[in-house]
Amino acid sequence: MTLSLSSRLDESIPSASGLYHRLVLAVGPARTGKTGALTELSDSKGWPRINVNLQLAERLLDLTQKQRAVRVAGLLDDIVKAAASDVVLLDNIEMLFAVELAQDPLRLLQGLSRNRTVVASWPGSFDGQALTYAEPGHREFKKYAAPQAVIVSTADAQPTDVAAAQEENR
């Protein structure tokens, strides 16, 4: 029996609690159930689900291009802190990849996950080794070898703790 994505995410949260970055990524292409899984977790556990694109866009609206790039990390931190929860669900994070904002999306998420568990939907893929966003050649393309996060793929049956897998391979 294959567990639902929301169940697999919920089961992966305890393994993230012992990591330096308490980050769980629900990884998969668009329309593979990430938002539904986060909504289900929010409804059943009472954890806040934040639409990052919407919340961040509202705060960046009145800033210049240069101010946006400088302030995006702090604004995102403020949004997550305002949720006042030990577990925060981040959905619709595509804005973090905007070239104009000059950010490293994975690093931003890792920073947010130092003092709380962050479960984020990652619109991309994970091949067991590398986490990607967009296709090579696309201006927003990102590739991370061995990301420090617990990866739950929309395609997999089991979550992958990349940090633990690396330790086992040493």
Domains of the chain: 5-169 (3.40.50)
> How confident is the model at residue 51, as a pLDDT?
98
Could you say which residues of the chain have pLDDT below 50? 157-170
Say how far apart CA 80 and CA 75 lie, in whole Å.
9
User: What does the H/E/C string look like for 103-152?
Assistant: CCHHHHHHHHCCCCEEEEEEECEECCCEEEECCCCCCCCEEEECCCCEEE
Give the amino acid at 125: S
53-97: per-residue pLDDT in tens? 999 999 999 999 999 999 999 999 999 999 999 999 999 999 999
In what helix (H) or strand (E) does residue 34 lie, and over which residues does it extend?
A: helix 34-45
> How confident is the model at residue 105, as a pLDDT?
97
Q: What is the pTM of this model?
A: 0.89
> How confident is the model at residue 70, as a pLDDT?
95
103 CB-near residues (< 8 Å, 6+ apart): 69, 72, 73, 96, 97
Say how far apart CA 74 and CA 139 lie, in whole Å.
24
156 CB-near residues (< 8 Å, 6+ apart): none
